[in-house]
């Protein structure tokens, strides 16, 4: 779907433009480009086609991923006007933009543009934009855009666990469990690292990887701890909670199993409990519901004071 996202490359936050070969001599030009880019993103996000087009050169050219060519400031203004009329509330972001100067009056910008349309998944494109300086002003002259592939099937399935991403802590009276959850490249997996500390005991550390199993059509996890234990789980959603059927081989060779339950309560906390626990066929006490809070929140302060 075309959102003219290639017209966004110019939208960069202040300070986000990379330095040229000679930062001292190019500082005024960098500042001028930054100001123009700020004006561009502001105009785009308020749906002002005339203000957007004013930042292009008279002969500006945009080439879309599908090969569509829009030539000239007037044509670009009309294209933007049509787009804003159809895409109410569209916003843009630019990720990691970089600018380099190749001549006294020419600069190249490269980066990733993200278009956010209400009610639709964000779309991304890589871009190359040429800025030219004429009559003392920097303007956009050429933009060429390449659409980036969308999220994989694995990523789409794992979006249900997006709430887990972040840094968490459970500061119970007996131990402290710190957890960090991040996306891997292309959001193919969730990577979780954890560290459990208790008075008088060595800290236990480990990693859990959560991913989509396309062969079985389930979300699956794999865990490895610093004692040499390892295990795997199968995730399923039931009402407002996630139930994980987990099996593990302990470092001494014994086999263990449990049903672990995660229940997100709000953006800053979730609860966790472990029931039906067995070690070598013998039942072990359940772990009652524990509240885990996001680091850096007021809830963390309350948890630490318990």
* Confidence (pTM): 0.53
d(CA 194, CA 189): 16
126 plus 161 within the same structural domain: no
The total number of structural domains in the chain stands at 2
Q: CA-CA distances (angstroms) from residue 45 to 14, 39, 52, 87, 90?
A: 16, 10, 10, 11, 7
100 plus 216 within the same structural domain: no
Q: Which of 147, 182, 206 is the last residue of a domain?
A: 147
Q: Which of 88, 122, 147 is the last residue of a domain?
A: 147
**The two structure tokens encoding residue 298:** 């007021």
| 41 three-class SS | helix
Per-residue pLDDT of the chain in tens (306 residues, 90 and over written 9) = 333 333 333 333 333 334 344 445 888 998 888 888 888 888 999 999 999 999 999 999 988 766 788 999 999 999 999 989 988 889 988 777 788 899 999 998 887 888 888 877 777 888 888 999 999 999 999 998 887 766 666 778 898 999 999 999 986 777 899 999 998 877 889 999 999 998 888 999 999 999 999 888 999 999 999 999 999 999 999 999 999 999 999 999 999 999 999 999 987 899 999 999 999 999 999 999 999 999 987 556 555 444
175 plus 83 within the same structural domain: no
From the list 51, 12, 64, 56, the residue with the least C-alpha distance to 35 is 12
28 plus 65 within the same structural domain: yes
Tokens 């086999």, located at residue = 255
Q: Is the Cβ–Cβ distance between 174 and 306 less than 8 Å? A: no
Q: How crowded is residue 256: how many other Cβ atoms within 10 Å of its Cβ? A: 18
Domain extent for 133: 5-147
- What CATH number should be reported for the domain holding residue 34? 3.10.450.50
191 plus 261 within the same structural domain: yes
Per DSSP (E only), the strands in 40-90 are: 56-63, 69-71
């Amino acid at each position: 779907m075309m959102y003219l996202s290639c017209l966004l490359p110019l939208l960069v936050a202040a300070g986000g433009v990379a330095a040229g070969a000679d930062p001292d001599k190019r500082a005024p030009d960098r500042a001028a480009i930054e100001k123009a880019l700020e004006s561009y993103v502001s105009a785009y996000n308020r749906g002002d086609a005339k203000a957007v087009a004013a930042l292009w050169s008279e002969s500006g050219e945009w080439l879309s991923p599908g090969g569509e060519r829009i030539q000239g400031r007037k044509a670009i203004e009309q294209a933007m006007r049509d787009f804003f009329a159809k895409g109410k509330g569209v916003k843009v972001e630019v990720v990691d933009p970089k600018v380099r100067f190749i001549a006294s009056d020419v600069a190249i910008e490269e980066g990733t543009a993200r278009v956010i349309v209400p009610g639709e998944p964000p779309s991304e494109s890589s871009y190359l934009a040429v800025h030219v300086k004429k009559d003392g002003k920097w303007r956009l002259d050429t933009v060429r855009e390449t659409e980036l592939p969308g999220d994989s099937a694995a990523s789409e399935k794992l979006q249900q666990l997006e709430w887990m991403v972040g840094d968490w802590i459970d500061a119970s009276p007996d131990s402290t469990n710190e957890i960090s959850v991040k996306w891997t490249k292309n959001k193919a997996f969730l990577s979780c690292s954890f560290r459990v500390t208790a008075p008088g005991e060595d800290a236990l550390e480990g990693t859990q990887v959560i991913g989509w199993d396309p062969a079985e059509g389930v979300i699956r996890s794999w865990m490895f701890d610093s004692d040499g234990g390892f295990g795997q789980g199968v995730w399923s959603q039931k009402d407002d909670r996630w139930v994980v059927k987990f099996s593990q081989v302990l470092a001494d060779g014994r086999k263990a199993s449990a049903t672990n339950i995660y229940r997100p309560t709000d953006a800053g906390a979730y609860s966790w409990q472990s029931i039906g626990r067995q070690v070598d066929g013998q039942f072990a006490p359940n772990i009652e519901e524990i509240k885990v809070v996001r680091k850096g929140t007021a809830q963390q302060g309350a948890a630490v004071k318990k």
